[in-house]
Structure 1
């Protein structure tokens, strides 16, 4: 690995970007050394382009000198996808943060990658529109980052993930070429679907410099249900019933007993129960009561303890405030957290929940499970004390068993966090050698010298 950048590269990019756009000082390097996975590696420099032409020039220069380029948004990801490699340059897209166009009549917006999700939602609201992806970090995460890892959130059960809500992209390949795919239309049977290939590729195929996003009208009314169950299995069975009837909930969140205990410990008004579902519907004032009744009927069944309705206003906000408080509160149990976002078919959620509970007992660990049950996407949080060698070893041993369980249930490794470094080495278990070879061929076609975020997503050839 390079320990310093070639002088010719430094001279070229310094001239291109100026002193404020080409940073090699300790403060800039330190600020771009990690993401929310807490993995850390100092880059040799940070490039801050403000135009797509500058992105092209940076990639071309780094390619000539065989220097890795790691694209970065807001750094809220949890898998290490934005953590620089030793000897690499971070290409920060923070300055490319313009909302270029809101086309309300076409229900789309054209944005640069550095635009924050929360800022976009504020601009769209007066138009009666929103962009559906709503990860927990929505206020501070970037659109480019959302697209890079195919972010989702609670609303994905009805409205889909980032991949389902992007219409077109402009991106810079590993050769420094500018490619355009898709556009301001919702039907397209023209050629290969590069738009949806690039979404979720974590900056390993191309660097997104512009996105045309699919927008959705804001609902007139919303209401929620809080349903308590005797145990996690009863709640998981209810998820299958809810998703098996015609009304699609806007959100369907699962929380196990440890989640509820943690919420109570942190002051939330949550009754004692074995598990809880938060179910939300949206629509207009005339149809919403009927939608909510259909969801309530499906939620009822063996093991249900109580069902409460929260219409719009403080009661509904209180429900979701409890859910949002959960992830930060995990640190009060233990300082170490392995947070995985596995996915299984909805019908197999009961088996996943039972399997995770069995692993918690086998490894004598606290494992808190909650998440977007309507998509079969549960966040399995292994909590441990890193300074306890034995507990640390048990946590690390439990992780591959979680993945093995997921794959045995016909599931997949990630629903919205992506692969990055954290799950890269498990990809060989999730895909056949032939499938991985096809992925590597795509990588080689778009990034022939392998300079774009190398070492992420795909495991080594062995």
Structure 2
């Protein structure tokens, strides 16, 4: 048993959870996430039921022990890292698809079910859950909800917050609360469902979710459009998004991203910017939707437009996008990846600012992402074995956020805040707004035991 864990807590949880209560070296795999941060938890709980989670929270509250909810550990901001020790609650054993309600177009799930496994379970019903982060095969639905995850399909179908109908959750007081349900319209009381989604386990621990499903499209087709520069590509994004037919995906790559994938063998021609556009629907309507998107994509600065109508052609079209993240490691082994958001009209300003910052920092900066909602991934590449390059990369990060906020943008579109962006929240929000957030935190987590130190900066820092 960890020396910092109260013996009464250890004994009670060991009795209740049996082999679902871990201490010592067995806790080590639960200490990190994809942020490359790591800390050793005092213990790990692997509950099987909602009542188990209630018992863990109440026991931890009575001893003022921190609790960190954990999905699959694929987050990039350190939100699942137990920086203050405490008990990690892993949902690896609460991973069931509880009830597929095809007639109501919703599904009830436990938080530990993986996104990819859920999609496989829904496929025979002709349905899918829209959030599609790049880690979909490995990430959990609970983690998707905690961070309000998105992905390329968010431009048409929305993020996790747009695709959840109800939750069962445990507050920091150890109370089980139910909000929302298997209905799409609700004007009853406060919207706790969408407040908890995106709160990264700081307000309540999700133990069950009712998710909104969409019909699986019968046909898809895509476009690859090359432009002279980021400004003309962004103008095309505005034209595309103004059309009645919303694209299923709308991805952007800047000049440096195109150069990178060309260097790694892609057949993409040289260009200043590129858009990948996808339409979905049925066999009868898809050609018209695709033509409307192609018409909108045309305009000043367009260099080439290629259509991918069948499955193999679409796979080739999207291969460049899928290859981009792995290719980044061929530039430098270290990467700071920030998922910032700016208004679509400000995309050229952000790209130009990142090109200037790249020169100033003497480091490669690659920009790509979900253009339809202005959610771009700014990748600062550096050699993490080189102290000087590491320092320059870290010094560049505040400049990225400062520029994003100056462009009326926001710090995160889908990764969340966690630990890595917490200290920039005071730049993004006024003191009064942060005070309101703290008040919500106190109401649902009166002793501050749920994921302490994440999302909100300490009051004394404001």
TM-score (norm 1): 0.97
Report the secondary structure of 2:339's partner residue. strand
Deviations 1:360-398 (A, max 9, x none): 122221000000000100000000112322222221111
> By how many angstroms is 1:194 displaced?
0.1
Q: Paired residue for 2:70?
A: 72
> By how many angstroms is 1:348 displaced?
1.5
Q: Paired residue for 2:8?
A: 8
Q: How far, CA to CA, are the matches of 2:265 and 2:57 in structure 1?
A: 50
Q: Any conservation in 2 of the 1:3–1:87 contact (CA below 8 Å)?
A: no
Report the secondary structure of 1:153's partner residue. coil
> By how many angstroms is 1:3 displaced?
5.3
Aligned residues: 459
Q: How far, CA to CA, are the matches of 1:103 and 1:267 in structure 2?
A: 45
Q: Paired residue for 2:426?
A: 428
Q: Paired residue for 1:44?
A: 42
Q: How far, CA to CA, are the matches of 2:44 and 2:301 in structure 1?
A: 55
Q: How far, CA to CA, are the matches of 1:87 and 1:120 in structure 2?
A: 32
After superposing the two structures, state which structure 1 stretch, 304-313 or 110-119, moved more: 304-313
Q: How far, CA to CA, are the matches of 2:16 and 2:327 in structure 1?
A: 45
Q: Paired residue for 1:23?
A: 22
Q: How far, CA to CA, are the matches of 2:42 and 2:319 in structure 1?
A: 41
Match among 83, 90, 93 for residue 91 of structure 2: 93
Q: Paired residue for 1:301?
A: 299
Deviations 1:264-284 (A, max 9, x none): 333333222222110001111
Q: Paired residue for 1:246?
A: 244
Q: Any conservation in 1 of the 2:84–2:452 contact (CA below 8 Å)?
A: no
Q: Any conservation in 2 of the 1:148–1:202 contact (CA below 8 Å)?
A: yes
Write the mapping of 1:261-272 to structure 2, written as runs, cut at 5 A. 261-272=259-270
TM-score (norm 2): 0.97
> By how many angstroms is 1:287 displaced?
1.4
Write the mapping of 1:179-194 to structure 2, written as runs, cut at 5 A. 179-194=177-192
> By how many angstroms is 1:25 displaced?
3.5
Q: Paired residue for 2:216?
A: 218
Q: Any conservation in 2 of the 1:260–1:275 contact (CA below 8 Å)?
A: yes
Q: How far, CA to CA, are the matches of 1:160 and 1:219 in structure 2?
A: 16
Q: How far, CA to CA, are the matches of 1:291 and 1:150 in structure 2?
A: 29
Q: How far, CA to CA, are the matches of 2:28 and 2:310 in structure 1?
A: 44
Q: How far, CA to CA, are the matches of 1:254 and 1:206 in structure 2?
A: 35
Q: How far, CA to CA, are the matches of 1:412 and 1:254 in structure 2?
A: 18
Structure 1, gaps ≥5 residues long: none
After superposing the two structures, state which structure 1 stretch, 420-429 or 361-370, moved more: 361-370
Q: How far, CA to CA, are the matches of 1:365 and 1:241 in structure 2?
A: 33
Q: How far, CA to CA, are the matches of 1:52 and 1:412 in structure 2?
A: 35
Q: Paired residue for 1:379?
A: 377
**Runs of 4+ with >6 A deviation:** none
Q: Paired residue for 1:320?
A: 318
Q: How far, CA to CA, are the matches of 2:51 and 2:43 in structure 1?
A: 19
Q: Any conservation in 2 of the 1:5–1:87 contact (CA below 8 Å)?
A: no
Q: How far, CA to CA, are the matches of 1:318 and 1:352 in structure 2?
A: 29
**RMSD of aligned Cα (Å):** 1.1
Q: Paired residue for 1:232?
A: 230
> By how many angstroms is 1:237 displaced?
2.2
Q: Any conservation in 2 of the 1:233–1:354 contact (CA below 8 Å)?
A: no
After superposing the two structures, state which structure 1 stretch, 264-273 or 133-142, moved more: 264-273
Q: How far, CA to CA, are the matches of 1:361 and 1:51 in structure 2?
A: 53
Match among 435, 438, 441 for residue 440 of structure 1: 438
Q: Any conservation in 1 of the 2:24–2:42 contact (CA below 8 Å)?
A: no
Deviations 1:102-152 (A, max 9, x none): 000000000000000000000101101000000000011000000000000
> By how many angstroms is 1:328 displaced?
2.1
Q: Paired residue for 1:276?
A: 274
